[in-house]
Chains A and B, each alone.
Chain A
Amino acid sequence: MKRHRTRRFAVPISIVACIVVYCLAAGLSADGGQGNATAEVQTILKRIDDLYRSRSSTAEITMTIITPNWQRTLVLRGWTRGQDRMFVRILSPLKEQGVGTLKIGNEMWNYFPKTDKVMKLPPSMMMSSWMGSDFTNDDLVKEYKLADDFTSRLVRPEKAEPGVIYIESRPKEGLPIIWDKTIAAIRESDLIPLWQDFFDERGTLVRSLRFGEVKKFGTRNVPSVMEMIPRTKEGYKTVIRYNKLAFDVPLGDEIFSLRNLQSQR
């Protein structure tokens, strides 16, 4: 019988972008939770949780994606409200300028100015592989209650640096979280996260998330740069940089609408 090729389905970069913003807004770097951690750990985790969380936000982001075959830099503008509304517009490069993605609850639409087409994504494609970036499904789909879903404790690794707190977190049994554990490093002085490593069940380091360049946006100090580096394959990296970031901005419904999506502005 005829041999049939299976192909991965490509997903527009815009989805990558919007989901990155989404998970940032929701603080989905998912490290740490309450459970049987000490009170100190709990405070730290809650701090990190709330680092990027707000009722609404606007941001301008530069995302650089590096793969062995190509390298790209996108500039995006994003709006979020609550946990379920998000809108992202690509500003650069020119070829993709005007492409937009709107997400309301579990529904997602893309708009392509070149073909003047609004495409609703079939639900099954919502979590397709990210041909572009190195963020995985785990980061996107379900938002986990940090408090309930992980068991965390303080640890002291060999090469511990002074002024840094290390927290090891393990997902609770039965949850569809692919990692066996994560280790996060947090700066003691201002409780800013420095990096987070993700491990599989065999103890292999699968990917690393790095935070850097703390800046003041409005009233908050947050790392303005996030780097995701896969460790099991060579030559891949995704870097996200917040150029602008504002929290608790009043945003009307009309921003999260199909009309706005098509307006190209």
Chain B
Amino acid sequence: MNIHLKAAWRNIFRNQRRTFITGTAIALGLASLIFSDALVKGTTDSLINTATGSFSGQGQIHAAGFRETQETSRVIAGADAVLARLAGDARIKAFTPRTLNFAMASSASEVSPVLMVGVAPDSEGNFSKISEAIVEGRFFEDAATGGGRRANSQDIILGAKLVETLQARLGDRLVLTAAQAGSDDLAQEMFRISGIFRFAIDEMDKGMVFVRLSKAQDMLNLNKGVHQIALSLKDPRMASDETNPLWKDYSSEGNEAVGWPVLFPQLKAVSALAGFATAIIGILLFGIIALGIINTLFMSVYERMFEFGVLRAVGTRPGGIRKLVVYEAGALGLLSSGLGILLGFVVTFIVCKTGLDYRGIEYMGVSFKDLLYPVMTIEQFIIYPIIVFLFTVLVGLYPAGYASKMSITKAMRRTL
């Protein structure tokens, strides 16, 4: 093996303290990069999840034209087939069907227009945060989960602000009036308030009521039809990608599948800004880490000018010195990257398990009951180490040149 390489490798371990400090500095830099990246991915996911996870989902399927017209008769074509397909689709994490229509809700003393949402208790319970937002009463239960309580088709769940407007209480009667699908006939049904939720979002707390899907379908004469299937994806980033084939796959036969950027352009705008800001921070972070590497590496070379002077004195050629320094930088870079990968993995892993606690923030009443989790990806552990390694070697070139060109006497004078 090349003598310089051997010497470089040995040099690293000769002064352990120096190597340790320098190596740790670089390793910390790498670990920070990995962790920050993971955290950013986790937080971006978190912001989107916050906005879409409460109820709307990362994407939705409707019959084409439903979003604009909101016509009750426009149900999803071939809903059963679509649902079956979603169940078997590996890209889909969860989904749930719903009916949506405008209705009037009346209590004994007041009347209010509402959006009536028919939900399937099992899939909806797993999908949206309604059950967590319940402050009085309970979410829908079926015989299977409810400990024997019979599924009551008259159950209705509504927002705290709406209950206030209607001057009603848990357990009170409520009559919903709505126009049936396809005809102008009006349907009127009696419900009993079985749950009250609080999302701290006005639109939901003031304007939405939830009933059982089957009841809504009967009432509206929908004949098993549904208006919307809400989706959440295994890879949330797929949802923000409008060109992803997933959307085309399900936009067929008169249906339309779109992700949240299309459903909520405001969210898309905010997310774009936030993403860009984060990217800039990343660059700045990179800058400071680069400085850190320069700092430590330069120090470790300049420290040993005396040594290099001696080497030159005994006959090592300038090129040899250069090679030596560069190889040292490389070896250090290698070691540090290894350490950095390990550190980065450990820290990120731990935080992945414990999560970051932002629960002090009462937003939407539910979302920050979830902790913030960083997201680990393979790229983080390949790309960043490579970048750090290359950079370390690059940085080593300058002092290498300096060391190789320095006059022997000057080097041996030892002062810096």
Contacts and interface: CB of A to CB of B under 8 A. Distances in A.
A–B interface present (Cβ within 8 A): yes
Interface of A: 1-6, 8-9, 105-107, 122-124, 126-130, 136-138, 141-142, 174-180, 198, 200-202, 204, 206-207, 230, 232-233
B113 A178 contact: no
Interface stretch (B6-14, B26-34, B99-107, B133-141): B99-107
B186 A127 contact: yes
B51 A1 contact: yes
Contacts of A233: 109
Contacts of A1: 51, 201, 264, 266-267
Interface in B95-127: 101-104, 106-109, 111-113
Contacts of A122: 179
12 contacts: A4-B203, A5-B202, A9-B113, A122-B179, A124-B179, A137-B104, A137-B111, A137-B175, A137-B188, A178-B173, A200-B108, A207-B109
Contacts of B242: none
Contacts of A107: 184
B235 interface: no
A109 to B, nearest CB: 12
A207 B113 CA distance: 21
Interface in B163-205: 167, 169, 171-179, 183-186, 188-190, 201-203
A175 B190 contact: yes
Contacts of B267: 1
A123 B185 CA distance: 8
A127 B104 contact: yes
Contacts of B312: none
A138 B106 contact: yes
Contacts of A126: 179, 186
B206 interface: yes
Contacts of B178: 124
A129 B111 contact: yes
Contact of A230 (B102, B109, B183): B109
Nearest to B107: A178
Nearest to B172: A201
A141 B190 CA distance: 13
A200 B186 contact: no
A181 B410 CA distance: 107
A4 B202 contact: yes
Interface of B: 51, 101-104, 106-109, 111-113, 167, 169, 171-179, 183-186, 188-190, 201-203, 206-207, 264, 266-267
A45 B300 CA distance: 104
Given A4-B203, A123-B179, A124-B179, A141 B186 contact: yes
A3 B176 CA distance: 26
Contact of A6 (B107, B190, B206): B206
Contacts of A174: 190
Contact of A232 (B109, B183, B202, B266): B109
Nearest to A121: B184
Contacts of A127: 104, 177, 186
Nearest to B178: A124
A109 B183 CA distance: 16
A2 B201 CA distance: 10
A176 B190 contact: yes
Interface-central residue, B179, B184, B201, B267, by most chain A CB under 10 Å: B184
Contacts of A136: 106, 111
Nearest to B183: A106
Contact of A177 (B169, B175, B184): B175
A202 B171 CA distance: 10
Contacts of B175: 137-138, 176-178
A9 B203 CA distance: 16
A3 B202 contact: yes
Given A122-B179, A124-B103, 16 more contacts: A1-B201, A4-B203, A6-B203, A8-B112, A105-B184, A129-B112, A129-B113, A137-B104, A137-B111, A137-B177, A176-B189, A178-B106, A178-B107, A201-B171, A230-B109, A232-B108
B199 to A, nearest CB: 12
B109 to A, nearest CB: 4
List the 4 closest pairs (A to B, CB-CB), nearest first: A123-B179, A200-B108, A176-B190, A106-B184
A27 B109 CA distance: 21
Contacts of B266: 1-2
Given A6-B202, A6-B203, A129-B104, A142 B190 contact: no
Q: Which of A106, A124, A128, A201 has the most CB of B within 10 A?
A: A124
Contacts of A5: 202
Given A8-B112, A106-B184, A232-B109, A128 B179 contact: no
A200 B179 contact: no
Most B Cβ at <10 Å: residue of A8, A141, A179, A207 = A141
A137 B106 contact: yes
A207 B108 CA distance: 9
A103 to B, nearest CB: 11
A136 B175 CA distance: 11
A106 B174 CA distance: 22
A232 B102 CA distance: 27
Contact of B173 (A3, A123, A198, A201): A201
